[in-house]
Amino acid sequence: MRHRMAERPTGTVTFLMTDIEASTRRWEEQPEAMRIALMRHDATLREVIEANGGWPFKHTGDGMLAAFAAAQPAIQAAIAAQRLLELPVRMGVCTDEAELRDDDYFGPALNRTARIMAAAHGGQVLVAAATAAIVDAADLVDLGEHRLRDLSQPQRLYQVRAEGLQEKFPALRTLDARPGNLPAQGTSFLGREHELVEVAEMLGRVRLLTLTGVGGVGKTRLALQVAAELSPEYPDGTWLVELAAIGDPTATGHAVAGTLGIAQQPGLTIEQSVVTTLSRRGLLLVLDNCEHLIEAVALLAHDIVTRCPNVRVLATSREALMVDGEQIWSVPSFSFREGASSPAVALFVERARAVAPQ
């Protein structure tokens, strides 16, 4: 059946984002079967999205992004798709303002939709509170507040309940489900999506990665977002050690131990106690603002990556630690080359709106 091309929604838009669960494993184990299944998956999604007045504007390889002018049709499309899809697909629905530009959308709403979708399991449809507030013909189960991987303040999420849809799922894939102390951020992560992917991939290949750059360039924010994105990979959590306020280099080990809840063991220094304890854990350690404690941090980081096989260290510093095995990644300044559409301008606008919404 052919459907009339939907109008491109503008202003306040409801986004539906989908993703096939465990798609990488399926491609590796049964590539031909996955290719056929993906073709049926794509056709089904496009059919139900367009049937409900939505516009599928982006294909993500194993998923799809669609825009709707209203929230109710987006939820209806999600329900219809889940009833028909053969593969386990997780879905997220979020409503907010977004900018339409060159057949694509820009703004924090896209990131938030992606984080909501990433919290779901195959067969599950999660809905943001902003969307739930404006629909009255959907059965939504309040799942409470959860911290998403965009490091925003806790967000209330809802699960769509409908005939033919699975109702019971494991705990949501949010920061609440893992140990750690990553702080909530008051603003969105904007303009460094490519850097985020590159640094995350690099950290998967090395044990010690240092983000360097001038003060204020965004090293800490990038490190925190990388840690949040990678949190599911570390069973013992992602932990931030803030070193900016530490003036005495000999207190470095105590700062790490205090963050991780490690007590000094008899006959061992605090640094040795940290290393001994971490040798039995699998976690990501973010050492932030190391430049004034270079020697102490370098010695401890080197011992950790040498003796703790399941621990990775992500450091931020104005200069490299200069130890064996360290990979250095220089954080670039924001570019203004794209003019009003540049990430730097988008970041400035969001900060300005936070101070003066009007």
Tens of pLDDT, residues 220-251: 999 999 999 999 899 999 999 999 999 999 99
pLDDT at 222: 95
pLDDT at 357: 54
Q: Which residues of 206-239 are buried (b: 16+ CB within 10 A; e: fewer)?
A: bbbbbbbbeeebbbbbbbbbbbbbbbeebebbbb
Q: Which tokens is 23 given?
A: 């798609």
pLDDT at 2: 46
Q: What angle, rounded to 10 degrees, do the helices at 219-230 and 193-203 form? A: 60
**Which listed CATH number (1.10.150.20, 3.30.70.1230, 3.90.550.10, 3.30.460.80) goes with 11-175?**
3.30.70.1230
pLDDT at 137: 87
What stretches in the chain show pLDDT beneath 70? Answer: 1-6, 190, 334-358
**Which listed CATH number (3.40.50.720, 2.40.30.20, 3.40.50.300, 3.40.630.30) goes with 193-330?**
3.40.50.300
Give CA–CA dist 222/26, Å, rounded.
31
Cα angle 169, 170, 175; round to 5 = 125
Contacts of residue 242, Cβ cutoff 8 Å, sequence gap at least 6: 255, 288, 289
Give CA–CA dist 128/117, Å, rounded.
10
pLDDT at 88: 94
